[in-house]
A and B are shown apart, each in its own frame.
Chain A
Amino acid sequence: MSAAPGTCRAADSAAVARGAYLAAAAGCDQCHTDGKNAGAAYAGGRVMDTEFGAIVTPNITPDRATGIGGWSEADFIRAMRWGIAPDGTHYVTAFPFPYFAGLTDSDLADLKAYLDSLAPVSNSKSAGAASLALFARARAAIGAAIAANIAPSSPPSKDDKIVRGSYLTATVGHCGDCHTPLTWLGAPDVDRYLAGSHGGFEGRRAPNITPDEKTGIGSWSEDDIASLLKDGGTPDGDFVGGSMAEIVRNTTRLTDDDRRAIAAYLKTLPPKVFTKNN
């Protein structure tokens, strides 16, 4: 495998493979691909309808002119963990960097190795926001500054499966991005972690995935949850649509063990009730 221009070493194929798995688990290609117009994978261009206005996702192939080619590892880490671009500008939280802040150093390195291994694609569709709702932006900035956590902090579990499930759910999968309701400041409400939201992704409703019996998934078994993540099926014979169908395209690429880990973790969460105030 030859070295990509600008790097001093050949890509480590094991790192690239691990990075590919992470990218699939996090679903990077879902947002960063213009699926509607058959755009190239990871080349950006998808228009997201957010509270900040219409935002076009950036190109994350290693194209030097229009993508992230030439980014150092430090640039990548800063963008993923803090939402700061190499030129010092800040991303809005339509990019879920508060969740990715929990990614480990080695996972970030693997992810970058994978993205660097992609063929550079030129995408001249300009990224960023066509018009940003200033109030929404200010509100999110204040909220992000105040909110210390996006998931409840709890003593680390002794069970490796739960630890893995927690990482996949709270960090990589950024499930709270849709399933945790926001406070009035626009920050995730940790007290109602994963308890569902009336206006989540693109304004759509996301259900309560805490183990509340009546308004959540308390009656679901671990197998039921893992099944949904595999093929979108619910215990009552339904198959998810809407935004979750897209997410199932990510989780279907996980290993069975990882899906079961997510399921096991969700079963340990404090049950919260989904109300009209979510």
Chain B
Amino acid sequence: MKLTLKLLALGGLLAITAAGSTAALAVDKDQVIKDRQALMKQQGGDMGGVKGFLDDKNDQATATAKATDLVDAIKKIPSVFPPDSGGPNPDGKYTAKPEIWSDAKGFSAAVDTATEKATALLAAVKGGDKTAIQTAFSDMGKNGCGGCHEKFREEIKK
């Protein structure tokens, strides 16, 4: 009888500890996902800033600032995908695929590609030739942003 009580108490303690640690992880994960969403939106805004220059809506100085920010933002991508942080974004539209972690080499390569294309885009923006900027912009959109989204992001089925 005493042994059973001890076991029950131990079980209870373990359960509480486990629940506690899960709760702690859940808070962190939510924040990571929020940060991730914010970083992605920031990059979207940067691309929008470059497009604005192509569409004659803003000037080269603005486009240069945005393109510079884009290169910096991409460097932060690995930091918003720590292990065990898969899950849907706050909009509930997309989810990070498990391949991000199971194919870490592939994910890293996709980040490298995005870095490369964003760097090329910045150079083009600084050069000022709109044809060259358009080419670099499309390349970044399709193969930098799109290349990663194609393999590592999934729409959530409703």
Contact = CB atoms under 8 A, between A and B. Distances in A.
Interface size class of B (residues with CB under 8 A): 20 to 34
A86 interface: no
A239 B45 contact: no
B141 to A, nearest CB: 4
B34 interface: no
Given A232-B142, A239-B141, A245 B48 contact: no
A205 B142 contact: no
Contacts of A249: 142
B141 A231 contact: yes
Contacts of A205: 155, 157-158
A237 B155 contact: no
Contact of B142 (A204, A238, A248): A248
A246 interface: yes
A273 interface: no
Nearest to B140: A231
Contacts of A241: 145-146, 148-153
Contacts of B153: 241-242
B11 interface: no
Nearest to B48: A237
Contacts, number: 66
A238 B44 contact: yes
Interface size class of A (residues with CB under 8 A): 20 to 34
Interface string B129-145: 00000000111111001
A158 interface: no
B95 to A, nearest CB: 11
Contacts of B149: 239-242, 245
A239 B157 contact: no
A67 B152 CA distance: 33
A15 B140 CA distance: 33
Contact of B146 (A198, A204, A245): A245
14 contacts: A198-B157, A198-B158, A204-B154, A237-B44, A237-B48, A239-B145, A239-B149, A241-B146, A241-B148, A242-B149, A242-B153, A242-B154, A252-B138, A252-B142
Interface of A: 198-199, 204-205, 227, 230-233, 236-242, 245-246, 248-249, 252, 276
